[in-house]
Amino acid sequence: MMSFQVVSSRLKLRKLITVHGNITSLYLKNKYMEVKNTEIIIIGAGIAGVSAAVYAKRSGLDFVLCEEKAVGGQLLLMEKIDNYIGLGLGLKGWDLANNLDKTLSELGIPVVSGKITDSVINESASKVDVMIEGVTYEAKGCIVATGAAFEKLGVKGEAEFSGKGVSYCAVCDGFFFRDKNVAVVGGGNTAVEEAMYLSGIAKKVTLIHRRDKLRALDYLQKEMAQKDNIEVVYNSVVEEINGSRILEKISLKNVADNQRQELIIDGLFVAVGVKPNTEQFKGKLSMDEKGFIITNEEMQASSKLIWAAGDCRRRPLRQLITAASEGAIASMGAYKYLKGRYVSV
């Protein structure tokens, strides 16, 4: 028969779990998991995260750099880079990603591969616990450089035909649509760049935008106008994606006159923006309505233990060059917090 003391202890433990939630959950997991201590954990190895790691290394911080997928992040999806000073025109995204990986290797910075499963910010104890693939990293601070993911249209048929004609990356999947008819949805820089890239592969490209004019930079619009196989359809949205086994057509609605039409295509590329990869920090940090982390000019978030850099952070200009700068600033902000002073690196 179970003793009253054991039953009482179990009831107390159950109550403790209910009251303290994630912190108790993480504590209980730690009893059966490997725990590693470090000064800073950097989450994400895109250009912001790599920049933060380089500056952390040069300043002598003890840190861990982790990445769920591959070094470079969205660089691996970019056809070419024309707006990063000093790199020349037309640099391939994967070439820059390779350079980042090489830099990490030359500096002796390893990359821990794995997905974050939980995180706990404990300001009273001045520590952040981050769980990655069965290991709990206990740090004095954390730099979040998790980037952003592609937004979806949220229309009928999108999920069904994802990978069967619907794509979110022209560089990744454009090859499969050689000499076929494709459409791109969006009106910003990315949408126009995707359309131009596809124009060199596909027979015809239809760019669909919900407004009466594009938001892309002027030079991109002028460059696109020189392509004779790109047609722009304004004031229109995709209502439904249809097909049998693969994508065959989409239904469009004109938002100005409510007229509807069907467009027969082989591929649909969605370029309507991004959403930040900040799920693990929701409810723990101040964010804007879209989920981007709000920071001060030193990249410090609402918690004194957290800094954010790159596309996961609310910022006025989402560019590679600003992400690299933010990574460096975040790393130096963390150093100042830990050491009480800045250091020349």
Phi, psi of 103 (to 5 degrees): -60, -45
CA-nearest of 185, 208, 196, 335 to 272 is 185
Q: What is the 3-state secondary structure (H, E, C) of the chain?
A: CCCHHHHHHHHHHHHHHHHHCHHHHHHHHHCCCEEEEEEEEEECCCHHHHHHHHHHHHCCCCEEEEECCCCCHHHHHCCCECCCCCCCCCECHHHHHHHHHHHHHHCCCCEEECCEEEEEEECCCCEEEEEECCEEEEEEEEEECCCEEECCCCCECCCCCECCCEECCHHHHHHHHCCCEEEEECCCHHHHHHHHHHHCCCCEEEEECCCCCCCCCHHHHHHHHCCCCEEEECCEEEEEEEECCCEEEEEEEECCCCCEEEEECCEEEECCCEEECCHHHECCECECCCCCECCCCCCECCCCCEEECHHHECCCCCCHHHHHHHHHHHHHHHHHHHHCCCCCC
d(CA 291, CA 276): 6
Give the residue numbers annotated as catalytic, written as ranges.
Answer: 169, 172-173
Instruction: Report which residue type is found at 263.
Output: L
